[in-house]
Structure 1
Amino acid sequence: MTTKFFDRLSNDLTQLLEDPIDYNVSIEVGEAPNNQIFKIHSYILQSRSPCFKKKFNETSFNDDHVKALTMSNISVKVFNVIVKYIYGGTISLENLENSIIFDLLIASNELELDELFEHLQNHLVNNNASWLRLNFAHVYQTSHQVKNLEIIQDFCNDIIAKHPNTIFESENFLTLPEDALISILERDDLQLEESKIWEYIIQWGKAKNPTLPTNLAEWTSDNFSTLKETLNQCLPLIRYFHISSKDVLKKLFPYQQLLEPSLWFDINSKIMAPDEAISSIILPPRKISGIILPTRTTPFPSEVITGEHILEISSWIDKKEIPYTESNPYEFELLVRGSRDGFDVKPIYEICDKVSNTVIVLKVEGTGEILGGYNPLKWDKNTDQYQTTRDSFSFSLKTENLKSSILSRVKEFNNGIGYYWSESWFSFGRSLILRNNLKISKNCYCHLNDKFYEKRIRSNEFLSPIHYPPSSLKSTFNAEEFEIFKVTKKK
């Protein structure tokens, strides 16, 4: 019987990483000014990672007998987790943000750490599915840009099959890679009528050929040949014999030149003589459930935020670690909209006076940031002081330029909410200060050294080191639009 002392081995090797005696590799990780140099032993890394083995073989020793590598595409935080896994064979994901775990997944694939790569895929799908859904567009696009993400791809395709509008009605559909579209069309359980699928692939094919005439009546045979070549891999996946005769006439007939003559003949033959044999392959019908499936997020009448944002804010109100994905326990009632009710702070107090549990959101002019916060207290136009709250929070919401939302909860409860009607301002501590006219006065800002809330919700370059007046024009901003909602539990 063989006795295995893996725990002691893991611990000793981890100690070697912390005290790198006789190291012969230095790896500069991350981008300045947040870069860091790791001192590594090549024989450990190359025994665990084929990628590192190749890199070491291609790199010569410098005058100090050390091989120097640079990996600016991996963050220090991610690489620190990876190198501890390589040395000690252990990993802890509990305290890592989901965005970091996803970056860790991509890095482990690049470094050919197969065991870790598979573990992280399963971890995200089994334990963090809500985050994957919330960041669906980014996750799905990455799954087709990075090799070997089959588990993530299957997860995404399953969502698309059940909620096809997630991708077909998204702004990213027309730029969808061909292999991604094919993987969707191959699904028997895609919950879409076949004629609608046909319309989508025609739309996608045209987007790949922007020089095609917009008016179909002007198309030449060459134009149809161009589109047919683009859709060469997609056309065989359409279930033509499960399209109604009405849609064959209305939707297929104008594009009949895309189809082989024998297929077009068989489609029409099957309509006129259903019992007659044909030579074309008849694919099985899609397994449509017959139930109207809910969309991934509830449509929300806001000029600033989306249904996904509302679900995320609702989960923060309930202090849930995993965001709500479809069923929202709250109603959001619009109280104030800048473009409708004005952008001055004082009238906000008049409209919201004595109303509690409100969410403020605003879109920053010029940057596209979405900032805001949750105020559980009643608005009070007769108060000029900070108010105590344990449940308020400020935030930056995920946008195209911000991969993940930032949540900042109040930590100094006595300074949670600032009511100053007479001075025309309102604040979440000093995390977010809204002052005067939000549209034109450019007096809104976030404080660099706010001690009242946990985190900064803007990057340092946009923060003011002094409270008022703010230190520079760069640290102040106007709002393109802002809204305030009353939040109530659904009955």
Structure 2
Amino acid sequence: MKRNLLERLSKNFGEYLEGGCGYDVKIHVGKYYDQKTFEAHSMMLAARSLYFRRKIDDIPMNSRKSVIELRELEIPPNIFKPLLRYIYTGIVPLHNLEAEDFLDILCITNEPLLSDDPRSVVDFILAADKLELNELVNYLQNVLIEDRTEWLYKNMDKIYARISNHPSLKTFKNFYKDIIRNNIELMFQSDNFINIPLSDVILMVSRDDLLVDEVKIWNQVVKWCVSQFPDLSRNPEHWTSKECNNVRSMMENFIGLIRWKYISGDGFTSHVMPYAKIFPVKLYQDLVIYYVNKNERPRFLDLPRRVGKIESNLIPFKYASLISQWVEDQNEKSTWQWFASKKEVNTEKKTIQYRYNLLIRGSQNGFSKSDFLKAYLYKGPTITLVRLEGTDLIIGGYNPTPWTPSEKPDPRTRKSFIFAFDNVHGNPVEVGRISKIENSGTYPIISITDKGLKFGEDLSLTFADIQNEISSTLNYHSIEYTLLENVQKELENPIQVKDYE
């Protein structure tokens, strides 16, 4: 009943707006050939929008006319109309959230107001932000992120740069910053890169784990800087002195972040020397001397090589280094088999060629199948790690393909593998790893089942019942490839999972 009464109230206010009875405000919006005047009521505007309340209150009472005239020239009529209707009715102009084209925005009268064009949607949100319709702004940010993540990602180049300087759109900004952080190489080399704000580009280039060839980093930075000046020639030889100064002032943000000693002499000659005019003279001279005589080591060579990293509570850097090497090996070799005995891992710190971004942690995000699917679905390649209760054993697997809900994984997968670690006095001991059973055509594919995960045919992880349990269990079998016998003796079957990532 309460809902019905509110719907009736909303409808009545909508009719009040449409009827124009008793209006005391005229709002002129748009400019040039796209202008329109809307009639409204000062009481409603002041009650719903702090922006309009201030504008109305700023007009001295002794100079107010019977009809107040306001101008919002920067807001086009097709954007202002649904905003005004929202002010009166509280109806958020999103129609049919389940439909693919849910951004086709309709008013009560079924009149199309906005399409799913990202520019129009951003215009709408920015106008709502200007009018300080804070509840609407927050709602739109949350509903778009929750229900149209793919759409936001696809249109990042048309959205992120426009919203980045608006403090009230923090939810959007954090969403896009997470995309950049978790997909930094992809974003760095995408077409969207030139639209990323300066502050984010600086953060990207300064990261020690940006896994892109240094000369490509240089090329992308140059591309970004040049693109900030749309009329600038792409050939630096054609730049005027003023244009060189403009690019130089922009490049000053990045030159000190480039790891010069990891750009080859050929790379320097082909990709850096053409832009000699944008360098500080002394720095460029030092670079030329360095590439002529590698015994010269200026201070700007102190930055370390960029390497990968891992966000894990279960394994340290040295484990990740070994797993990275296995992934590389698997790209080159066709068969592996279990080691016949435990083998102590070389714990000397090495670089890792990949960044391992945490998608889910059981103790933090939950142990149910739905928790796993929400974090993993359609993402890949991935590493899954399982720490078992009452032991230092870690079971894991590498899946080179994106996860799907199907219980029938792609049999063509040839690069998956499973592995196990034991922790002895703080050093990882390699219990075993396998990619292909010797004299067999099968691979230990990691797949989703109705109860959990399967690591090949040997190990199965059963997720907890979200209503009754707080952890999961691991079951294993003795078939063609198996855990070492001495390891099996240490474990119960099934054994409880302490945590997984």
Q: TM class by shorter-chain length?
A: 0.3 to 0.5
Of structures 1 and 2, the one scoring higher in RCO (CA 8 A, sep 6+) is 1
Q: When the two structures are superposed, what TM-score results if normalisation uses the length of structure 1?
A: 0.43
